Amino acid sequence: MKIGAHQKLVMIGDSITDCARKQPVGEGRDEALGRGYVAQVNALLSSGYPALRIRVVNMGVSGNTVRTLKARWQRDVLDLAPDWLSVMIGTNDVWRQFDEPLQRENHVHLEEYEATLRELIGQARPTLKGLVLMTPFYIEPNRADPMRAEMDRYGHVVRRVAADHQAVFVDTQAAFDRVLQHVYPATLALDRVHPNPVGHMVLARVFLEAIDFRWDQEA
């Protein structure tokens, strides 16, 4: 597996990452890591690879865009000195353009999104042992849907940034698309954005596959 023994993994993002995690630092027992994919990743790493003693920290904040992520990057990423960093941001950058169309000050368009993401990754990358970049997603199978089409454009940015920084790339949209061949979107998320436990397991699974998690690993 890509993450090594005694390494710290910080996972940062918006509400999809947050999931009611402990404040100010999402780490510890019970629901300190929240109730979403971060907690599921931690549970599987801890049970599947107990000897590695990987430390997982959840630094998601509900409502974040890449712009608001930038405002806390020093405190919530750089100061925590992670060995591995996972970033999933962009859903609100797109969503605010659709659910708050007249509040243009809240819109983070594609150019700002890419420039800011590159700036943040550029600051963190030199001290990291590993980096995971996860695309934002919209749980909608119709690629012609306006919000789905825009979300795909932001996902393409993440792919480019990952390639430029030798990051592990996680295509969360593709992972949901595979499941959406068999189920209706509302069975994964009523608003097509905030996944239920099954949807979060889709995220946890594709993340673990990307870091070469072995389900048949012996403890």
**Which of 14, 15, 18, 93 is flagged as catalytic?**
15
Give the number of other Cβ atoms within 10 Å of residue 97's Cβ: 18
DSSP output for the chain: --S-TT-EEEEEESHHHHTT--SSSB-SSTTTT-SSHHHHHHHHHHHHSGGG--EEEE---TT--HHHHHHHHHHHTGGG--SEEEEE--HHHHHHHHHSTT-GGG---HHHHHHHHHHHHHHHGGG-SEEEEE------S-TTSHHHHHHHHHHHHHHHHHHHTTPEEE-HHHHHHHHHTTS-GGGT-TTSSS--HHHHHHHHHHHHHHTT--TT---
Which single residue is written with the structure tokens 């595979």? 178
**Which of 14, 76, 93, 194 is flagged as catalytic?**
194
Q: Rounded to whole angstroms, how far apart are CA atoms 107 and 111?
A: 11
| Known catalytic membership, residue 182 | no
**Which of 109, 156, 164, 191 is flagged as catalytic?**
191
| Known catalytic membership, residue 15 | yes
| Known catalytic membership, residue 191 | yes
Residues assigned a catalytic role:
15, 191, 194
